[in-house]
Structure 1
Amino acid sequence: MSDLPAVERVDTAAFTVPTDAPEGDGTLSWDSTTLVLAAARCGDVTGLGYTYAPSATARVVDGLLAGVVTGAPALDVPRVNEAMHRAVRNAGLPGVAAQAIAAVDIALWDLKARLLDLPLVRLLGAAREEVPVYGSGGFTTYDDARQERQLRGWVEDEGIPRVKIKIAESWGRREDRDRRRVSRARTVIGDTADLYVDANGGYDAKQALRVGRALADEGVTWFEEPVSSDHLTLLGLIREQLALDVAAGEYGYTLPYFEHMLAAGAVDCLQADVTRCGGITTWLRAAALAQARGIDLSGHCAPHAHAHAAAAVPNLRHLEWFHDHVRVERLLFDGVLDPGGGSITPGADGAPGLGLTLAGERAQTYRVA
């Protein structure tokens, strides 16, 4: 083991980027987004990972994880992932600690691939060359004109044939506007593009069923978190009564959570977020759980953190090309991918690891920690 390259240092930074317009969904609104970066170093090679979380997440990495990771074999990522999970036992895993682990785990996979001079998808082993994406945004704070520009940008300018908007505005108290916005979106994108909606758990059960049946009439095929994903039995009952696919899982921070969701029959497609669930290591295991039950997996947000792992998953349905995170990643990193035609091709340029480099001066403008 002494001959194996070891992680020499783990550094962190946090960047806060204001939104380009007020953003909101059914249960939350925001005007900025914070990306917490982890950098794992071995000699002159650095692996980058990140999560979207409060800047305090960097302190979890510095205080609880860096000491565990430093000195560990750089090639043994699952071993280090397990050590990080054990290190946060008393701090509590779900939430910020899981996001901190995720950022470091992604950085370790990036580091390993760079040490081996391989695109990460080649290290993991590709199940596909192209990763389908869907345009995601359509915030409840948008007026009709802004929503239309965004939808046309995806469908007409970039050729993305599937898009998603937010509904359940104000915890479901503006149902008429929800329905009107969905109808307007269908008119804008036409009949050939797929239309998805995300309620972010903003409806109650009866309302979710009522709205779900109306959504089906508009040709909506994806209903994300019609009710809170905390209530798996209820989510499963709603899924049984609706024709369109029910999806959830973005708030899964642990592998057992995904198993509980699948065992409850709560979803037609499992969502998992590599920046929340403990990194690429856990995300791939969640994909395997879903595949064992004949269920597809969809990557939630943070598209460039997911891209290579997504290409390694046989049961991948698609990856969320989320407006907020796409914008942040284009500002902070060089080496971002092109979704033209509705898919991305990670590793196609041969760049090692995730293919990302921090955009020096451009990123420094937004650094907060």
Structure 2
Amino acid sequence: MKKTYSRKEFLRNTLIASATPMLASPAFAAHGRRRPSGLPDKYENLIDLHGQFDAPVIIDSITLLRVENKFFIRVRSTDGAEGIVIDNGRLSHLYPIMKEKVIPFFIGKDARDMETLVDEVYAYESNYKLAGMAFWNCVAQVEMGVLDMLGKVAGKSVGAILGKVRRRRIPVYISSLTRETTPEQEVEWLAQRLQETGAQAVKLKIGGRMSKNADAFPGRTDNLIPLARKSFGDDVAIYVDSNGSYDAPKAIEVGRLLEAHGIGFYEEPCPFEDHEATRQVAEALAVPIAGGEQDSNLSMFEWMIKNNAFQLVQPDLYYNGGFIRCLRVAKMAAAVGINVTPHSPKADAQSVCMLHFASVIANSGPHQEFYGHPMKHESWYAPHFDVTEGHIIVPDGYGLGITYDADFIAKAKLV
């Protein structure tokens, strides 16, 4: 007989690893979830940068570098301090926005004012007319470079600059990014990765990706979910991501299958722009709904949280404009007992921002996202990130804690 799971069992099986007590919040109760009357000011300052630096740290230059097919943002102060961050793969398309609309605003500014600067850049030369992920992705990378620089000036990690470092071992889930496998193939390689990494959680792709109710191929989702639960057992947390594959009725139908097999969260059941459809799905199902990867509007995060459309929030540190804006989202979520697990299907130097973010927020989810397939470690940066006993260690160096090979960066061309 097929085993079914109550909501209590969902939370016990998939969320027990969380260190935060917020999981018992009424925000997780299906049907009639608590509707909060108010949330923290989404533009409230959360970091006392002036208290950490006695003297101004003036941004002298922000340079976009390219080495082979990789982009980097280098920030320098008038005193010669330097920060550097790797691009998330988007600047090959977005560099005109970065160079012409974002970088000029920050030159000559005091880096200690970063919390207000990330708001003011939006109005600079009517940048709000470029609103969305493309614009905020550029702002994020400037902010990350500045914070890396500030950490090096202060002799602190970015986590310590942002607040109290609560944890240095980050539990992760193994994230699959493919829909091209059969259910049998998918379960086989993920089972191997679970064994190799010691991870206790995995995320599967279901549906067809913004596919108007179509599966990747007929029957894949219906067969994958029960096979995964049978193969991995009840002690492994299974999460799923549909990438907006369904309208609300179909998403609810698929959600019943997920409920029957104890799935820990259901990510983006509906197209991300259809906020009301997502809310309807959350209202109908017991399985927690996750989302926020594509969002870069703090007011929309506020609406989704207030209206209980999300029971797990997933801002992307790049897409949503950086650490500061994602900390604001985390604080709104914490106010109603909701955890945060950023979208971050990375395994190289790009993953360092997620690690620092997860190290400081009080409401970090039970597992953070990490790219599932093993990756070849490149020699041009250190440290490398390996999953051991289901965890990754947050770098303890200054700033972001990533060191780039000087000879590699010396080959860079200005963009």
> What's the TM-score bracket when you normalise by the shorter of the two chains?
0.7 to 0.9
Partner of 1:179 in structure 2? 222
| Of 285-294 and 165-174, the range deviating more from structure 2 | 165-174
Alignment partner of 1:221 is 2:264: yes
Residues 46-80 of structure 1 show CA distances to partners (whole Å, capped at 9, x for unaligned) of 22233342513222221112222122123332133
What is the DSSP-based 3-state SS (H/G/I as helix, E as strand, rest coil) of the residue aligned with 1:250?
Answer: coil
* 1:1-369 aligned within 5 A: 3-13=55-65, 36-42=71-77, 43-49=79-85, 50-87=87-124, 89-124=127-162, 125-143=164-182, 147-148=186-187, 150-169=189-208, 171=211, 172-174=213-215, 176-301=219-344, 302=346, 303-317=351-365, 318-323=367-372, 327=375, 333-347=381-395, 350-359=396-405
Aligned residue identity for 1:57 = L
Please report how far the alpha carbon of residue 96 of structure 1 lies from its aligned counterpart in structure 2 after TM superposition: 0.8
Q: Structure 1 unaligned runs (5+)?
A: 18-34
Structure 2: distance between partners of 1:334 and 1:342 = 20
**Is the 8 Å Cα contact of residues 248 and 280 (structure 2) preserved in structure 1?**
no
Please report how far the alpha carbon of residue 89 of structure 1 lies from its aligned counterpart in structure 2 after TM superposition: 2.3
Identity of aligned residues (%): 22
Q: Structure 2 unaligned runs (5+)?
A: 1-49
TM-score, normalised by the number of residues in structure 2: 0.76
Please report how far the alpha carbon of residue 260 of structure 1 lies from its aligned counterpart in structure 2 after TM superposition: 1.4
**Is the 8 Å Cα contact of residues 51 and 276 (structure 1) preserved in structure 2?**
no
C-alpha distance 203-361 of structure 1, shift in aligned 2 (>3 A): farther
| Of 205-214 and 76-85, the range deviating more from structure 2 | 76-85
Structure 2: distance between partners of 1:225 and 1:193 = 21
**Is the 8 Å Cα contact of residues 241 and 267 (structure 2) preserved in structure 1?**
yes
Structure 2: distance between partners of 1:256 and 1:336 = 36
Partner of 1:21 in structure 2? none
Structure 1: distance between partners of 2:375 and 2:317 = 18
Please report how far the alpha carbon of residue 219 of structure 1 lies from its aligned counterpart in structure 2 after TM superposition: 2.4
| Of 160-169 and 232-241, the range deviating more from structure 2 | 232-241
Aligned residue identity for 1:5 = V
What is the DSSP-based 3-state SS (H/G/I as helix, E as strand, rest coil) of the residue aligned with 1:221?
Answer: coil
What is the DSSP-based 3-state SS (H/G/I as helix, E as strand, rest coil) of the residue aligned with 1:259?
Answer: helix
**Is the 8 Å Cα contact of residues 292 and 313 (structure 2) preserved in structure 1?**
yes
| Of 199-208 and 229-238, the range deviating more from structure 2 | 229-238
Please report how far the alpha carbon of residue 237 of structure 1 lies from its aligned counterpart in structure 2 after TM superposition: 1.5
**Is the 8 Å Cα contact of residues 36 and 57 (structure 1) preserved in structure 2?**
no
Structure 2: distance between partners of 1:95 and 1:323 = 25
What is the DSSP-based 3-state SS (H/G/I as helix, E as strand, rest coil) of the residue aligned with 2:130?
Answer: coil
| Of 136-145 and 358-367, the range deviating more from structure 2 | 358-367
Structure 1: distance between partners of 2:379 and 2:175 = 18
Structure 2: distance between partners of 1:246 and 1:167 = 14
Please report how far the alpha carbon of residue 202 of structure 1 lies from its aligned counterpart in structure 2 after TM superposition: 0.6
C-alpha distance 236-104 of structure 1, shift in aligned 2 (>3 A): same
**Is the 8 Å Cα contact of residues 4 and 74 (structure 1) preserved in structure 2?**
yes
**Is the 8 Å Cα contact of residues 52 and 275 (structure 1) preserved in structure 2?**
no
Partner of 1:31 in structure 2? none
Residues 123-165 of structure 1 show CA distances to partners (whole Å, capped at 9, x for unaligned) of 2221333322111115102345653454134310111101001
**Is the 8 Å Cα contact of residues 238 and 264 (structure 2) preserved in structure 1?**
yes
**Is the 8 Å Cα contact of residues 121 and 346 (structure 1) preserved in structure 2?**
no
Please report how far the alpha carbon of residue 311 of structure 1 lies from its aligned counterpart in structure 2 after TM superposition: 1.0
Please report how far the alpha carbon of residue 365 of structure 1 lies from its aligned counterpart in structure 2 after TM superposition: 10
Which structure is higher in strand share? Answer: 1
Please report how far the alpha carbon of residue 37 of structure 1 lies from its aligned counterpart in structure 2 after TM superposition: 3.0
TM-score, normalised by the number of residues in structure 1: 0.85
**Is the 8 Å Cα contact of residues 186 and 218 (structure 1) preserved in structure 2?**
yes
**Is the 8 Å Cα contact of residues 271 and 297 (structure 1) preserved in structure 2?**
yes
List structure 1 runs of 4+ shifted beyond 4 angstroms. Answer: 14-17, 143-146, 326-332, 359-369
Structure 2: distance between partners of 1:363 and 1:142 = 38
**Is the 8 Å Cα contact of residues 176 and 371 (structure 2) preserved in structure 1?**
yes
**Is the 8 Å Cα contact of residues 183 and 223 (structure 2) preserved in structure 1?**
no
Please report how far the alpha carbon of residue 223 of structure 1 lies from its aligned counterpart in structure 2 after TM superposition: 0.7
Aligned residue identity for 1:66 = I
Cα RMSD of the aligned pairs, angstroms, is: 2.9
Structure 2: distance between partners of 1:91 and 1:231 = 21
**Is the 8 Å Cα contact of residues 101 and 127 (structure 2) preserved in structure 1?**
no
Structure 1: distance between partners of 2:183 and 2:412 = 30
Structure 2: distance between partners of 1:215 and 1:296 = 20
Aligned residue identity for 2:312 = C
Structure 1: distance between partners of 2:411 and 2:285 = 47
Aligned length: 349
